[in-house]
Amino acid sequence: MSDPYAAQRDEMVDRQIAARGVSDARVLAAMRKVARHEFVPDHLKPDAYGDGPLPIGEGQTISQPYIVALMTEALLLQGGEHVLEIGTGSGYAAAVLAEIAADVVTIERIAPLAAQARTVLQRLGYANVKVEVGDGTLGWPAAAPYDAIVVTAGGPFVPPTLRNQLKPGGRLVMPVGRDSWAQSLVRVTRGSDGEDRQEELSLVSFVPLIGAEGWKDASRREAGGSR
Ligand code: SAH
């Protein structure tokens, strides 16, 4: 069956993603392939290829397509990696990652969102994605270490526990900042000597990362654990 949204999706990649400077061929191919309309509520399907985040319930959002592409590119994936995502949400970014990586473990703190994402990912055939429920600021030690870790919610600092689940040479990409409307997109690269290199890539705006090494709660923006 042909996909009625294929033309809109190609246009999304051309106008919103490639035109803004994302050039990694693997990322562009994944963004052309993953059916974003499958990851949004039915009444929002006509808007699925628009240039912004959309509500997915529970006060959460599916990220803007450009931001998913930007963060995926920032992970510097070559194909074949073992990847951890924090903040499953709709499952869309996990599907994009799964198009490139060997396998993806994704963690969501809100159980109904995790269940919904798991259903969609299964239906679309993403057998290489495992959705888990829990506090992702603590990572997922059972499957550590990872080649790449991406956090799709904004926290006050990069959780040390997550850093420590990176392989030598591994990359972690995450929005960090004290404001609810703007964070810096940060990339941490774990050196083979155990020393981390940290870069700031751009400004982004994400829902809060809530957990032991994130914010204590969404409204008060009080940091949880210590740095
Ligand atoms: N990657 C998602 C976007 C998710 S929005 C997508 O493609 O749709 C961020 C998600 O992070 C929300 O669903 C929120 O509930 C979740 N989240 C926030 N703090 C978390 C934590 N400590 N562990 C796991 N998930 C968390």
Domains of the chain: 6-204 (3.40.50.150)
CB 132 within 8 A of CB 152: no
Residue 176 beta carbon below 6 angstroms from any ligand 1 atom: no
Ligand 1 atom closest to the Cα of residue 113 is: 13
Ligand 1 atom closest to the Cα of residue 96 is: 7
Instruction: Round to whole Å and give the CA distance between 139 and 122.
Output: 23
pLDDT of residue 217: 76
The one catalytic residue among 63, 192, 205, 219? 63
Residue 93 beta carbon below 6 angstroms from any ligand 1 atom: yes
| Residue with CA closest to ligand 1 atom 4 | 89
What mean pLDDT is predicted for residues 82-111? 98
Ligand 1 centre to CA of 114 (Å) is 9
What mean pLDDT is predicted for residues 107-126? 98
| Residue with CA closest to ligand 1 atom 14 | 87
Residue 78: how many other CB atoms lie within 10 Å: 10
Ligand 1 centre to CA of 95 (Å) is 14
96-105, 158-167, 185-194, 210-219: segment of lowest average pLDDT: 210-219
| Residue with CA closest to ligand 1 atom 17 | 87
Q: What is the pTM of this model?
A: 0.95
Please count the residues of the chain: 227
Q: Which residues contact 34 (CB under 8 A, 6 or more apart)?
A: 92, 95, 96, 99
Ligand 1 centre to CA of 1 (Å) is 32
pLDDT of residue 224: 64
Residue 106 has pLDDT above 60, yes or no: yes
Instruction: Round to whole Å and give the CA distance between 66 and 88.
Output: 17
Name the pairing type of β-strands 166-176 and 103-108: unpaired
63 catalytically annotated:
yes
Q: In the chain, what is the straight-line distance between the N-terminal and C-terminal CA atoms, in Å?
A: 51
Instruction: Round to whole Å and give the CA distance between 52 and 61.
Output: 10
CB 162 within 8 A of CB 137: yes
Residue 156 beta carbon below 6 angstroms from any ligand 1 atom: no
Which runs of E-coded beta strand occur in 16-67? Answer: 54-57, 60-62
Which alpha helices (DSSP H) does the chain contain, by range?
6-12, 25-33, 65-74, 92-100, 111-123, 160-163
* Cis bond upstream, residue 145 (ω within 30): yes
Q: What is the pLDDT of residues 38-86, one digit of tens each?
A: 999 999 999 999 999 999 999 999 999 999 999 999 999 999 999 999 9
